[in-house]
A and B are shown apart, each in its own frame.
Chain A
């Protein structure tokens, strides 16, 4: 199975700040990488697919980059509604696997 490792596991940031989350795959996955946002008690929400394609309706302050084994999710100007847990997922090979998540908290 491909292991997905996210870092940091949590971070504190201020509204308006820029944050970068990292996801690393245990083997190359090309750009078969998706990012999801999950708020407490809610289902995950797709933000980015294919490493860098913004899902329809997702604010442009979210962006993704990377290929191979290293990927990043950047929030350019953190908004109050962005405080959540973010998960990466690889769909390069079955079983599709998720990272353990990065919790973004208010500073």
Chain B
């Protein structure tokens, strides 16, 4: 059974960079069938797609985040990562990592991590 687990600091200071890692177990991150994505959810609010990364390092991200997003993959560790720079209070949210099925249309997120809460405060 595929499992995803987010990890990283739960508190980030304003203007600094949020860094999260998603560890994948029960499957290979190097599969050609999947992208790996990040989605966030501010407390009490809806879901926002942040971006997705392929095992080759190819990425796609949400333009609303104005190029603050960097995503990467470490196939040797079966992990992928998110960096979000210049954070503000608006970036406080539960951050989820998820597997994106993309080989067959349509694409969808079929496995999700449990989520990790990130607070932005000085």
Contact = CB atoms under 8 A, between A and B. Distances in A.
State whether these chains interact.
yes
Interface of A: 1, 31-34, 36, 42-46, 49-50, 55, 87, 89, 91-92, 94-101
Interface of B: 39, 46-49, 60, 62-64, 96, 98, 105-110, 112-115
A22 B82 CA distance: 33
Decide if the interface of chain A is mainly helix, strand, loop or mixed: loop
B112 A43 contact: yes
Given A44-B47, A44-B112, A50 B96 contact: no
A96 B46 contact: no
Contact of A95 (B49, B105, B113): B49
B115 to A, nearest CB: 5
B108 A43 contact: no
A74 B12 CA distance: 41
A92 B107 CA distance: 9
Contacts of B112: 43-45
A31 B106 contact: yes
A32 B104 CA distance: 11
